[in-house]
Amino acid sequence: MHIPDGFLHPLILAGTATLSAVAVAVAARKAQRELEESRFALLGVTGAFVFAAQMVNFPLGFGTSSHLLGGMLLAVTLGLAPAMVTMTAILVVQALVFQDGGVLALGANVLNMAVAGIAAGYLPYALWSRGRLRWFAILAGGFLSVVASGAMAMAELVLSGVRIPAALLWSSAVLLTASGLLEGLLTLAVVRALRALQPSALERAQVRRSQAVLGVLAVLLAGGIVAVASEAPDVLDSLADRVGIAERARALLTTPLAEYRLSWAPGSWWSQATAGLLGLALTYGAGVALARALRRRRSA
């Protein structure tokens, strides 16, 4: 599920953007090393394939059909880190060219679908890809990738103060489970056909057991954020209280327009706006400096 701009709390935006920037930078570095720069076209073209694949409909009966989302297929054919980079590129193009998901919300969408979704989906595959459970691993991986990213998106929305009534929440959960099962089945159908057609496509990626750790981390992250959202949807509010931006957060989280007008002391906007901009500039500067330093050390 692609979250558009405007729905997420600034703290969620900042947190998810930081997490996914780090994760994607590490994944890009790993992918580049794994592919030895010799297959630079591969990730882009497989990413384009995912777009094209969404035009092939799988009939479900009852006059409905569905299409592949592709995260698990990328993970199985490319490997963990390259799949994360490819999925990130797909999400960037969807946000910029197709207005599918927001640009500021890209941090959250990348974290949900490209980082946590793919890592969670890879968990069963990393454990069982060689044994007799291989087909089940792909099925379970497709399921986990969709459910983890969908659950994280819902939790981030709830934490941002987008109230969702219980009935709607339950029906979304059912929908999520169904589309997770479907993604597993679709991935399985494609992988089986691919094994008959071109087995070498499935041997490109080296599966390492140790990668399961990342999958466990992703599942824990998804579970944790869902637990926080369901136990304490107002946690950002109290956190904001402590950090000292209570007024602003309350104005964002709770509806009444009148409230923030009263609670905003004149003069405090400027300091907050300046502090926010300064913090942003500092974070960006630190990130660029770190990247430069890493690059220099690597080339030295």
Residues 113-152 that bind other proteins (CB under 8 A): none
Q: Which of 75, 128, 138, 168 binds other proteins (CB under 8 A)?
A: 168
Give the whole-angstrom CA distance, residue 251 versus residue 18. 24
Question: Rounded to whole angstroms, what are the CA distances from 104 to 6, 20, 99, 182?
Answer: 8, 12, 12, 30
* Interface region with other proteins, contact rule CB under 8 A, candidates 126-134, 186-194, 216-224, 232-240: 186-194
* Contact assessment for residue 166 and residue 212, using Cβ atoms and an 8 Å cutoff: no
Neighbours of 253 (CB within 10 A): 18
| Among the residue ranges 41-49, 119-127, 136-144, 223-231, the one whose residues contact other proteins (CB under 8 A) | 41-49
Q: Is 205 in the site for other proteins (CB under 8 A)?
A: no
**Residues from 7 through 36 that contact other proteins (CB under 8 A):** 7-8, 10, 13, 24-25, 28-29, 31-32
Judged by beta carbon, residue 115 or residue 127, the one nearer other proteins is: 115
Q: How many other β-carbons are positioned within 10 Å of the β-carbon of residue 93? A: 14
For 225-253, the DSSP string reads HHHHHHH-TTHHHHHHHHHT-HHHHHHHH
Q: Please select the residue that binds other proteins; options are 19, 71, 83, 92, rule is CB under 8 A.
A: 92
Among 16, 20, 77, 112, binds other proteins (CB under 8 A): 77
DSSP assigned state of 3: P
Minimum CB separation from other proteins for residue 24, in Å? 7
Closest contact distance (angstroms) between CB of 165 and other proteins is 5
The SS3 assignment for 161 reads: coil
Check binding of 231 to other proteins (CB under 8 A).
no
Among 130, 213, 255, 282, binds other proteins (CB under 8 A): 255
For 196, other C-beta atoms within 10 Å of its C-beta total 7
DSSP assignment letter at 4: P
Residue 243 CB, nearest distance to other proteins (Å)? Answer: 14
Shortest Cβ 89–other proteins spacing (Å):
5
Contact 120, 148 (CB under 8 A): yes
Task: Rule CB under 8 A: say whether 71 interacts with other proteins.
Answer: no
Separation between Cα atoms, residue 82 and residue 88, nearest integer Å: 10
- If one asks whether residue 296 binds other proteins (CB under 8 A), the answer comes out as no
Taking CB under 8 A as the criterion, which residues in 256-285 touch other proteins? 257, 260-261, 264, 269-270, 273, 276-277, 280, 284
